[in-house]
Amino acid sequence: MGRLLAGLLLAVSATAPCAPWLGCGYSLVGAGLGGVSSVAIRTPRNDSVQAGLEIIVADALRRELLRRDGTALSEDPARADLVVSGRILPARTTAQSFSSAILAREHEVTLALALEATRRDGTKIEIAGEPMRETERYLASADVEAQRKNREEALRRLAGLLATRFFDAVGEGVAP
């Protein structure tokens, strides 16, 4: 029992200098969005031929927002401090690596998003690098269903990455 208490005291004393109540100055990177307390996310318009891609992107944006501390997801754009909207540009898929029989072994998909964040007063937050674009490789397959699933997983990864980049940029635009 004495060793357990000594170990506990050692752990507390080691972390005490950075305890939040002592104000050591450390904070989570990418947490929150400045003074924004609520964000509404409108499902983006899908200008690609990939059916359901707007749902994947909207889900990634919502997940990224909920992952950040201090900002709530609002269902009502009229009540939100910030409204996210935009569109998905046509996704591009190309074969990238080939076997000796000239069959594709890997494909590459590029996802581009033109998103904007609008404050309650109607002003837009400037986002550098719009539209945001990212590329991912995925395995080709002779099985059509496996090929579709591999592409969808790649698009989900891209949507998550772009959602993170978007909210990082929004946070920089909101910061005083």
3-state secondary structure 123-162: CEECCCCCCEEEEEEEECCCCHHHHHHHHHHHHHHHHHHH
Q: Which domains does the chain have, with CATH numbers?
A: 32-174 (3.30.160.150)
pLDDT (tens digit per residue) in 103-140: 668 889 999 999 999 999 999 998 877 799 999 998 88
Report phi then psi at 21, rounded to 5.
Answer: -75, -15
- 151 has which bridge partners? none
Residue 127 near residue 78, CB atoms below 8 Å: no
- The reported pLDDT for the residue numbered 3 is 57
pTM of the model: 0.75
Rounded-to-integer distance, Cα 95 and Cα 140, Å: 9
- The reported pLDDT for the residue numbered 155 is 96
- The reported pLDDT for the residue numbered 107 is 86
82 C-beta neighbours (distance < 10 Å), count: 24
The runs of H, that is alpha helices, within 37-91 are 53-67
- The reported pLDDT for the residue numbered 126 is 85
Rounded-to-integer distance, Cα 110 and Cα 131, Å: 12
- The reported pLDDT for the residue numbered 98 is 60
Regions of the chain where pLDDT drops below 50 = 5, 8-23, 25-30
